[in-house]
Amino acid sequence: MKNIMLVTGLGISLLASIFMAYGKVFRRRETIEEQSGSTEIHNQKEKEHRMRETRFAQIGAALLIAGFSVQIAANVTYE
């Protein structure tokens, strides 16, 4: 029962982290360019910032998924 509860809790946390980051993680280049507007210097910097922000969110999400996956595997295999 303990393992079931631990794995369920970690699974929910994993899903929550994906939902929380969805807006930034799954943002496409076209969307970033569209949101940034024209080609003025300010908007170019805004586009670069959004692309960098999106990349960090993608890396963070990958690390969260890896971390939770390891925890789930450890809790399932070791008692």
| pLDDT single digits (tens) 26-67 | 777 777 777 666 556 667 777 788 888 888 888 888 888 888
pTM over 0.85: no
Q: Do the domain assignments include residue 3?
A: no
Instruction: For residues 9-31, give the mean pLDDT.
Output: 77
Q: What is the pLDDT of residue 37?
A: 67
How many structural domains is the chain composed of?
Answer: 1
Q: Which amino acid is at 17?
A: S
* Domain span holding position 30: 14-77
The label of the residue with tokens 């631990």 reads: 6
DSSP string of 1-22?
-HHHHHHHHHHHHHHHHHHHHH
The label of the residue with tokens 């496409």 reads: 28
Given a cut of 70, is residue 70 above it in pLDDT?
Answer: yes
Q: What is the pLDDT of residue 78?
A: 65
Q: Do the domain assignments include residue 9?
A: no
Q: Do the domain assignments include residue 66?
A: yes
Q: Do the domain assignments include residue 1?
A: no
Q: What is the pLDDT of residue 20?
A: 74
Q: Which amino acid is at 14?
A: L
Among the listed residues 10, 16, 20, 14, the one whose alpha carbon sits nearest the alpha carbon of residue 57 = 20
Residue 7 token pair: 């794995």
Q: Do the domain assignments include residue 58?
A: yes
Q: Do the domain assignments include residue 8?
A: no
